[in-house]
Structure 1
Amino acid sequence: MTTRILICNRMLLYAEGLRRLLAEDERFAVVAAGGDAETVKALAAFDPHVVIADPACFEHVAGAGRTILLTWDGVSAASPQSFGNLRELVNCGLAGVLDARTDPVLLRKAVTKVCAGELWLDQQIIRRVLRPDAAQSHIQLSRREIEIVQLLRQGFSNKRIASELCISEQTVKTHCNHLFKKFSVSSRLQLVLRTSPDSLSSSPLPH
């Protein structure tokens, strides 16, 4: 069976390189590639087996296929709590995480495994996950920040979070930006990877 692959990456030259690389393997067929949100949503209609996406595209392809996330900071995107979050992320379509600079042979292997229904985590990320991060355990969050992280972990959009908490979308964005800085991340997915129920259950700061 030929594996249909959808590439979602904002760096179009990189996406084209991926397409050509995968096209060399007769087991794979890249059905489409794109980068901006609207294009990615439209491309989901190609019914791919596997989606290869960057973090910015992940939320737009959730459910389109089993997704391999390619990150340029794969190690820092993971945390000691990542394994605890995998079930939630898998429910959103995440099936693998790879460093964007990974070896082509490893990428092909990851695509094959993910298409077969397995999960794939880069070995560097696994080592990072298994190494405790003492500094992160001391990050203090306000009650509102904890509420927002809990809703983000459930896959809520900013609009829905605002509705749930009776605040404006701009306030949600402001809280998210503060959370990104506290956890040294740059995306919602990385934030989810860096948090866990245990880390959110400690004594919160006031709003």
Structure 2
Amino acid sequence: MIRIVVVDDHEIVRRGISAILQSAPEFQVVGEAADGKEALRVIRETHPDVALVDVRLPKISGIELCYHIQREAPQTQVLILTGYLDGSVVRECIHAGAKGYVLKDVASTDLRRSIRELVRGESPVDPRAARMMIHWLREGPEADTSDHFTLREIEILRLIAEGLTNREIGERLCLSENTVKTYIQGLYQKLDAHNRIEAVMRAMKWGLL
């Protein structure tokens, strides 16, 4: 039995997906959530095998939710199920911990197959999303931004991406915690980011990580 949580901000979508999945005896929908914050609570309580997650969610975005699930519930595999088609977003979702990316116009049989593939350790990605991701990776960022960042800043970005705290970064680089904070505030300004997750996602998009 594959235990699933469905995360989407539209109730009719959640109910429809749940009905499709529960029509097959191998699937059990153990919870639903309308936003990212609620999804974390439901996942902590139900310990599902799979979370079907939309990219656009209130309170906590689907991408940020992937980061949280990867850290707090690594046993739960995330399959993005969305209507949003963008190569860079696919890349950000995968880097955030999602194991697959499927569009909402998928046939019910294909959705069930994608979940089975996910549980087997495969990474189902809609062919259209895969093509856009490949195109985005080939084209790269619009401009080379690497020369705007010092080696120390890039080093700190990499440690942030690893999940280290300011204190841990300071210990790793022999810097004071206040110095690390100053570096990070400067990175936020350069990356136009408001938090660590945004900074890491933008750094990935710009090819810094």
TM-score range, shorter chain: 0.5 to 0.7
Conserved 8 A contact 2:90-2:101: no
Tell me the secondary structure at the aligned position of residue 18 of structure 2.
helix
Give the C-alpha shift of residue 190 in structure 1.
Answer: 4.7
Counterpart among 176, 191, 194 of residue 179 in structure 1: 191
Aligned amino acid, residue 24 of structure 1: S
Q: Name the counterpart of 1:164.
A: 169
Conserved 8 A contact 1:44-1:61: no
d(CA) in 1 for partners of 2:36, 2:134 = 34
Compared with structure 1, are the counterparts of its residues 120 and 187 closer, same or farther at alpha carbon in structure 2 (3 Å cutoff)?
farther
Unaligned runs of 5+ in 2: 54-61, 171-176
Alignment of 1:43-122 (within 5 A): 43-53=43-53, 54-62=62-70, 63-71=74-82, 72-78=84-90, 89=95, 93-122=97-126
In the alignment of these two chains, the number of paired residues is 181
Aligned amino acid, residue 139 of structure 2: D
Conserved 8 A contact 2:2-2:27: yes
Offset from partner CA, 1:80-127 (integer Å, 9 cap, x none): xx8xx96xx4xx753212234444333222111001221222212322
Give the C-alpha shift of residue 172 in structure 1.
Answer: 4.3
Aligned amino acid, residue 77 of structure 2: R
Aligned amino acid, residue 44 of structure 1: R
Q: Name the counterpart of 1:205.
A: none
Offset from partner CA, 1:174-199 (integer Å, 9 cap, x none): 74475367xxxx9567547636xxx4
Q: Name the counterpart of 2:26.
A: 27
Aligned amino acid, residue 96 of structure 1: G
1:139 has 2:145 as partner? yes
d(CA) in 2 for partners of 1:44, 1:125 = 30
Compared with structure 1, are the counterparts of its residues 135 and 49 closer, same or farther at alpha carbon in structure 2 (3 Å cutoff)?
closer
Higher relative contact order (CA 8 A, sep 6+): 1
Offset from partner CA, 1:35-71 (integer Å, 9 cap, x none): 3426514523422121222323212222141111234
Tell me the secondary structure at the aligned position of residue 139 of structure 2.
coil
Compared with structure 1, are the counterparts of its residues 161 and 100 closer, same or farther at alpha carbon in structure 2 (3 Å cutoff)?
farther
Compared with structure 1, are the counterparts of its residues 162 and 19 closer, same or farther at alpha carbon in structure 2 (3 Å cutoff)?
farther
Conserved 8 A contact 1:148-1:161: no
Offset from partner CA, 1:140-174 (integer Å, 9 cap, x none): 342365245313432x17xx247625358798477
Query: RMSD over aligned Cα, in angstroms?
Result: 3.7
Unaligned runs of 5+ in 1: 202-207
From the two aligned structures, give the one with the greater helix fraction.
2
Aligned amino acid, residue 77 of structure 1: V
Q: Name the counterpart of 1:16.
A: 15
- Structure 1 length normalisation: TM-score? 0.65
Counterpart among 156, 159, 162 of residue 151 in structure 1: 159
Conserved 8 A contact 1:162-1:172: no
Matched-pair identity in %: 17
